[in-house]
Amino acid sequence: MPRVGANGVELFFEVGGDGDPLVLVHGSWSDHDSWAPVLHALALRFRVLIYDRRGHSQSERPPGQGSRFEDEEDLAALIETLGFAPAYVAGNSFGASTALGLAARRPELFRGLIAHEPPLMGIVADDAELLPLMAATEEKIESVLAHLRADETLAGARQFAEEIALGPGAWDQLPEQLRETFITNAPTFVDEQADPGWANLDLSRLSGYTGPALLTKGTESPPWFATITARLSRALPQAETHTFEGAGHIPQISHPNDYAERVTSFIEGNNRRS
């Protein structure tokens, strides 16, 4: 089991393929296996690094309250330690928030940035139209957290998948291995939600990132993700945007061909321009 010390924690990782360096950063509840449906296609073109973020699956689970800042520092250390700098970095959900946060502080580590639906609710907290919807979602998140704190992990994981992230009936449609991963990593979701800065990002600082960027969303996702993407696009005027038709929060699983093709065309297009 390959693990490497990065920022004081042991992180599980795998590297495959050849070409431009590409790092994939998974979201909450999941792990490196969430990239399995697109890994082969991407590894045909790029040198791909996948890993388990701290507190997830085969990586170390440090005691005490964590923060997204620590995940950002883990990512930076991993990129540097494994010789991937500068790299293209693609993140999904909380992994996208992690990638964006690091790009704002350490742009020299990036050849390009790809972010799908980061849950940065704090940057749209002033949107009056979204406020009732986000308040209702926050109530559901609190219900999920109550289940998890009461050791009702299956109920909490199912509720998160069906009422917050993916939609009704989604839990039973997920691969069995992914459902098991959700249950294993549920305690880290509790930890992430206790971080007061998990949903915020300094957009003025992010605007200092001038490298290539691709911001994506799905047509079947909750409406605040479109607004978050629009806010990020204004902070990153050089960014491209793309909408995955018929997809939701994890297009690399639901629409793997579309996702792999879009990431590949973005990177190869940027290389041609360079």
For 107-134, give one letter per residue: b (16+ CB within 10 A) or e: eebbbbbbbbbbbbbebbeebeebeeeb
| Structural domains of the chain, count | 1
Structure tokens that stand for 175 in this block: 């691969």
Residue 151 lies in a domain: no
Whether 78 and 54 have beta carbons less than 8 Å apart is answered as: no
Would residue 155 count as lying in a domain? no
DSSP lists the bridge partners of residue 12 as 3
Domain-embedded: residue 169: no
Q: Strand, coil or helix: what is 216?
A: strand
Residue 166 three-state SS: coil
Q: How high is the pLDDT of residue 119?
A: 96
Q: Please check whether residue 54 lies inside any domain of the structure.
A: yes
Q: What pLDDT score does 178 carry? A: 86
Q: Residue 255: what pLDDT?
A: 97
Instruction: Look at residue 62 in the predicted model and tell me its pLDDT.
Output: 92
Q: What is the pLDDT along the chain (274 residues), one digit of tens a residue?
A: 799 999 999 999 999 999 999 999 999 999 999 999 999 999 999 999 999 999 999 999 998 888 999 999 999 999 999 999 999 999 999 999 999 999 999 999 999 999 999 999 999 999 999 999 999 999 999 999 999 999 999 999 999 999 988 888 989 988 888 899 999 999 999 999 999 999 999 999 999 999 999 999 999 998 999 999 999 999 998 999 999 999 999 999 999 999 999 999 999 999 988 7
> Per the domain annotation, does 229 fall within a domain?
yes
Distance separating alpha carbons of residues 162 and 144, to the nearest angstrom: 11
Residue 41 lies in a domain: yes
Query: Is residue 138 one of the residues assigned to a domain?
Result: no
Expressed as residue numbers, the domain containing 13 is 3-125+197-273
Domain presence at residue 68: yes
d(CA 172, CA 158): 9
pLDDT for 164 equals: 87
**CATH code at 60?**
3.40.50.1820
pTM for this entry: 0.96
